[in-house]
Amino acid sequence: MKMLIDCGVDVNEYDWNGGTPLLYAVHGNHVRCVEVLLESGADPTVETDSGFNAMDMAVAMGHRHGDYQPGHFSSYTV
């Protein structure tokens, strides 16, 4: 993923299904990918078509007791 970001891939780009790389990384519980995306400018406030942002999705997926903490996302908000 880092190589794609270094090549200029837009980390906030929506795909045909309405998801962003950050939303997919959270959905898959890929913590290191989430960190890299946030460090590279991914917007944690971007929402899915149904109105969920990355933190909402982390909680909904049951990751709240794992590696995602509220500060994990809030330190990257604008």
The CATH number of the domain where 35 resides is what?
Answer: 1.25.40.20
Total Cβ atoms within 10 A of residue 11: 19
3-state secondary structure of 68: coil
**Average of per-residue pLDDT across 12-22:** 92
CA angle 14, 41, 69 (to 5 degrees): 95
- Given a cut of 80, whether residue 32 has pLDDT beyond it is yes
Write out the residue range of the structural domain in which residue 66 sits.
2-74
Q: How many domains is the chain built from?
A: 1
- Given a cut of 70, whether residue 72 has pLDDT beyond it is no
CA distance 69 to 71: 5
CA angle 62, 68, 71 (to 5 degrees): 135
- pLDDT bracket for residue 78 (50, 70, 90): very low
- Given a cut of 70, whether residue 60 has pLDDT beyond it is yes
Q: What is the dihedral of CA 32, 39, 48, 7, to 10 degrees?
A: -90
